Amino acid sequence: MSTPTWAQLGYLLAAVAFILALKGLSSPKTARRGNLLGAAGAVLACVIVFFANDLHNIVPILIAVAVGTVIGVLGAYRVQMTQMPQLVALFNGVGGGAAAIVALVELHEITERSAATPLFTLIATAFTVVVGSVSFAGSVITFLKLQELMTTRPVIFPGYPVAYGLAMLAVLGFSVWLVLAPSMLLGIPLAVFGLALGVLLVLPVGGADVPIVISLLNAFTGLTVAASGYVLENTLLLVAGTLVGSAGTLLTRLMAKAMGRSLANTLFGALRGGSTLGGGTASDRPVRSASPTDVAIMLGYADRVIIVPGYGLAVAQAQHTLRQLVDELTSRGTKVDYAIHPVAGRMPGHMNVLLAEAQVPYEQLKEMSEINSDFDTADVALVVGANDVVNPAAETTPGAPIYGMPILHADHARQVVFMKRSMRPGFAGIENELLYEPQTTLLFGDAKETMGKLLAEVKEL
């Protein structure tokens, strides 16, 4: 059945909205508008489906839409900023899983039809089942790791390379078999082996590689949506999936570059012993600590301060207090900027979103390549909840999980103030040598509570 002209024009408008949404999401300043444009395009596309096609099972469809709407609204209001990476992982997994289910339904339709099915359609169907299943299972494991429902460290067991290899061979074998002889009896085990491959892909990932994997799985989901668009002969799905897949692929490459490691090492490093194996525990070496009063004096008389935010800032929900502190320092004539590392937090852009929530001026958010040279002239580098992204081990310790990762050069500042709850290592599981440098002062305590004390002390200067 051909699509009406008005529906095609509507799909075109939705596609334009998706493209403009991606453009808007490329900058924190326009991200909110981009997000709204993308949501509007998605709503338009869904509405068109109801009026442009002769749909069956309307009641179950409407029930599903209502349930999804309730879950989405509750999630938007209740999920904390620290849980945003987990939410992204779940949403991404649901998209991949949905695409795989649609492909299986279409496979059932193919086996019921007597007419021959084009070869490329069968290839796209098998691809969607496999990659959608991998994306779903991998995203679920990523969620469990980020939510700490399972260990965040790499999980490798005896015989892992053999299991990985067998799962890969099974997926390839069943995919070829399915293309040559379409059957649901082949589609189901193909999906099962795809799920197993997704689990095996993400289990060995830990620490610093998690943001890369989130981005990679997002690209996988986009590719499955594009392939399902071809199978269903839906141009909008093809366009939307291609946009997500290409954007996710580019972001994955950028993230891998920012981490200083190859994508192949992230995906297959575990086959030779693991890609992100951290083994650090807190050292008993002495460190220099100070009170909020001492740190307030450092900040109050500094001409140049650079803030390095990290996941600990998000956990403590201290971004609003931090902004008040920066406003107070700025009013005293101090130049203050935020140094944003590409993988700070638990997903790409985590710190940008967190600080935007506190309405931090976009002009103060500086990317690593832009701000790194400024640390040499900074009086104080205030590290709030970050760890691995300022760890000199990335440059000085071959064999460290983060070795080769570009870092923020907080150690080049005249004084470094490290706000930490404890001496516990960062997400990569290794000790930070910056903590023991002579110019480093530690300010222990919950970031929000300590930041409040620091703000009060600065105001009294």
Mind telling me the catalytic residues? Answer: 388
Residues 281-298, buried b or exposed e (16+ Cβ, 10 A)? Answer: eeeeeeeeeeebeebbeb
Smallest CA-to-CA distance from 421 within 389, 444, 391 is with: 444
Q: Residue 404: left if φ>0, alpha if ψ -120 to 50, beta else—which one?
A: left
DSSP string, 378-392: -SEEEEES--GGG-T
- CB neighbour class for 54 (10 Å; exposed up to 12, middle 13-18, buried from 19): exposed
Measure the N-to-C terminal CA separation of the chain; round to a whole number of Å: 75
Q: Are 289 and 417 in contact (CB under 8 A)?
A: no
Q: CA 89, CA 97: separation in Å to the nearest integer?
A: 12
Q: How many CA atoms lie within 13 A of 75 on its CB side?
A: 14
Task: Write out the H or E segment, with its range, that includes residue 416.
Answer: strand 415-420
Q: Long-range contact list for 389-392, CB < 8 A, 24+ apart?
A: 389/308, 389/310, 389/341, 389/343, 389/344, 390/308, 390/432, 390/434, 391/426, 391/428, 391/430, 391/432, 391/433, 391/434, 392/432, 392/433, 392/434
Find how far residue 352's CA is from the centre of its chain.
12
**Lookup: tokens for 154:** 């790499």
Q: Are 219 and 248 in contact (CB under 8 A)?
A: yes
Using DSSP, state whether 437 is helix, strand or coil: coil
Phi and psi for 28 in degrees, rounded to 5?
-55, -30
Q: Are 336 and 307 in contact (CB under 8 A)?
A: yes
Any bridge partners for residue 139, and if so which? none
Q: CA 217, CA 255: separation in Å to the nearest integer?
A: 13
Q: How many CA atoms lie within 13 A of 117 on its CB side?
A: 24
